[in-house]
């Protein structure tokens, strides 16, 4: 992804409230805000344009992140119909300043966004179906560029539903590959901007340490991962069935070790250097 200069306008001076975002030399524009300021968000002139929108929040039944992705020829008119959805607490939408987004364009963007959100796996996609649209080759390439800009702006606006949990294996160098070993078991992973990802196929100890009763975070997280199907029980160990991102190396190591662990010493590279040594280089 190329470097970019982003201009963010905080309408009330608060980064959590109504804000807009633009990229240099791009005709698109993003508007985002909390549900509590829904009327102010829709009062923006940009909301009258065609575009795509994302409603994000937590599913009250599962406790997991959730997103609804839509398109509309008038953002303002369409999103008012989503007030009956109780899961979302933030809205972000994207329009074009030159008003050149056609119905076919936004349907294409909606379909691609739904597809990518499902692939990223960070949130439950609440859409019952995706639309998508066939475009001439030149238009399709233009919309892929527009989509790339959406990817650059969304995390800046606090929405990470499109960010892949893992990057392409070819992008992970040997120096970035880390392992965490205990009792003959091995977990592998790599650092991410959000923490660390433990890769599918990694192993964890079968039983928790006694200390986990006093500090139950690791115990609770292991149970949650089991409930989600991300951890499965084998004869003498637990197995990660999918890539799982943790907020820190220590959080990941605690799940692998079955109790409190120092991730800076538990994770090592292929040469046996601890993470804390690698960070001090």
Q: What is the pLDDT of residue 170?
A: 43
Cα–Cα distance, 266 to 189 (Å, whole number): 12
Q: What is the pLDDT of residue 246?
A: 94
Tell me the mean pLDDT in the region 208-220: 88
Q: Where is pLDDT greater, at 16 or 99?
A: 16
Residue 164: pLDDT band (50, 70, 90) is confident
| 3-state SS, residue 111 | helix
Cα–Cα distance, 172 to 49 (Å, whole number): 41
Q: Is the pLDDT of residue 128 over 90?
A: no
pLDDT tens digit string along 10-50?
999 999 999 999 999 999 999 999 999 999 999 999 999 99
Tell me the mean pLDDT in the region 192-201: 91
Q: What is the pLDDT of residue 167?
A: 58
Residue 174: pLDDT band (50, 70, 90) is very low
Q: Is the pLDDT of residue 52 over 70?
A: yes
- Determine the angle formed by the axes of helices 137-156 and 103-120, rounding to 10 degrees: 50
Q: Is the pLDDT of residue 173 over 70?
A: no
pTM: 0.79
Cβ(275)–Cβ(265) below 8 Å:
yes
**DSSP characters for 222-259?**
HHHHHHHTSEEE-SSEEEE-S-EEESSHHHHHHHHHTS
pLDDT tens digit string along 226-265?
998 999 999 999 999 999 999 999 999 999 999 999 999 9
Quote the mean pLDDT of the chain: 91
Q: Which residue ranges make up each domain of the chain?
A: 6-156, 169-279
pLDDT tens digit string along 60-84?
888 889 999 999 999 999 999 999 9
Highest mean pLDDT: which range of 52-56, 130-134, 188-192, 215-219: 52-56
Q: Is the pLDDT of residue 111 over 80?
A: yes
Q: Is the pLDDT of residue 115 over 60?
A: yes
Residue 190: pLDDT band (50, 70, 90) is very high
Tell me the mean pLDDT in the region 82-106: 93
Q: Which of 20, 48, 46, 16 is nearest to 34 (CA)?
A: 16
Q: Is the pLDDT of residue 142 over 90?
A: yes
Q: What is the pLDDT of residue 169?
A: 43
Q: How far is CA 227 from CA 124, 219, 230, 232, in A?
A: 16, 12, 8, 9
């Amino acid at each position: 992804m190329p470097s970019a200069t982003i201009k963010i306008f905080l309408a009330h001076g608060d980064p959590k409230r109504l804000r807009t975002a633009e990229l240099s030399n791009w005709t698109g524009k993003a508007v985002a805000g909390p549900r509590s300021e829904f009327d102010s968000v829709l009062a923006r002139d940009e909301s009258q344009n065609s575009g795509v929108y994302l409603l994000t929040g937590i599913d009250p039944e599962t406790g997991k992140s959730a997103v609804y992705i839509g398109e509309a020829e008038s953002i303002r008119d369409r999103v008012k119909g989503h007030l009956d959805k109780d899961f979302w607490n933030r809205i972000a939408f994207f329009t074009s300043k030159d008003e050149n987004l056609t119905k076919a364009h936004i349907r294409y963007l909606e379909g691609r966004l739904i597809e990518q959100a499902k692939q990223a796996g960070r949130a439950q996609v609440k859409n019952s179906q995706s639309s998508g649209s066939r475009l001439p080759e030149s238009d399709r390439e233009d919309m892929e560029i527009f989509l790339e800009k959406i990817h650059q702006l969304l995390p800046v606006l606090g929405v990470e539903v499109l960010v892949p949990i893992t990057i392409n294996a070819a992008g992970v160098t040997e120096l970035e590959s880390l392992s965490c070993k205990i009792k003959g078991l091995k977990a592998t992973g790599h650092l991410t901007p959000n923490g660390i990802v433990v890769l599918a196929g990694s192993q964890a100890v079968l039983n928790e340490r006694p200390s986990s009763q006093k500090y139950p975070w690791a115990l609770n997280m292991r149970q949650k991962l089991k409930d989600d199907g991300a951890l499965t029980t084998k004869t003498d160990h637990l197995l990660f069935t999918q890539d799982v991102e943790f907020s820190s190396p220590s959080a990941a190591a605690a799940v692998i070790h079955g109790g409190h662990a120092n991730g800076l010493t538990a994770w090592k590279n292929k040469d046996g250097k601890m993470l804390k040594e690698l960070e001090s280089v």
